[in-house]
Amino acid sequence: MPKHPDPSRRSERSRQAILGAARELVSEVGYAKVSIEAIAARAGVGKQTIYRWWRSKGAVVFDAFLALSEVEEGGGMALPDTGDLEADLKLVMRATVAEFADPEFEGPIRALNTEIINDPDLAAQYRERLAAPVDEAKKARLRSAQRAGQIAADADLDLALELLYAPLFQRWLHRSGPLTPEYADALVDLFLRALRPI
């Protein structure tokens, strides 16, 4: 097997095959039943090739999801900014709610959540590599709204994002209520009331 003394010399083809195999297997049999062995067999590589680059099944699957996300290296994601904060946020939240109501999308994300809540290292990786760039894009939109006087200038934007997204996250994760466009709108309405300038 070839040596990879430097991350820059990783075989991109093998890497992509491994990530694709991980995504396929999670979709086909569910996260719990996926093994490093099965990913290696599907990707046509040796198990050691996977362990050279990733320390666990969770880490491979996480990278497989990351490769799918809209976040590009160094950012590159932005929320709509028409100047109408309510309309922009309702558009975004309706789309987000629809994603979480879609079994194709939510299944793998549910599997990922199971991993990160029990693995602090993976959770930190998730925050740094996936959540932080997305949150940064959301905060950029809120900063624009602050400049426009639409939300309080002194608002804590991390807390503001939790207020907007955590209710949806909890309702989805615990399957405790319907995920509808009306729900998305109601969340945005409460968010805007909480954050409005005094």
Rounded to 10°, the helix 12-29/36-43 angle is 120
Q: State the Cα–Cα distance between residues 18 and 2, nearest whole angstrom.
A: 16
Q: In the complex, what is the shortest distance from the CB of residue 129 to a second copy, in angstroms, rounded to a whole number?
A: 13
Sign of CA dihedral 107, 108, 112, 114: positive
Sign of CA dihedral 62, 68, 73, 78: negative
Q: In the complex, what is the shortest distance from the CB of residue 12 to a second copy, in angstroms, rounded to a whole number?
A: 31
158 phi, psi to nearest 5 deg: -65, -45
Binding mask 115-134 for a second copy (x = CB under 8 A): -xxx-x--xx-xx---x---
- Is 29 an interacting residue with respect to a second copy (CB under 8 A)? no
Q: In the complex, what is the shortest distance from the CB of residue 44 to a second copy, in angstroms, rounded to a whole number?
A: 30
Q: How many CB atoms are closer than 10 A to CB 121?
A: 12
Binding mask 151-180 for a second copy (x = CB under 8 A): -----x-xxx-xx-xxx-xxx-xxxxx---
For a second copy, the binding residues (CB under 8 A) are 32, 110, 113-114, 116-118, 120, 123-124, 126-127, 131, 156, 158-160, 162-163, 165-167, 169-171, 173-177, 183, 186-187, 190-191, 193-196
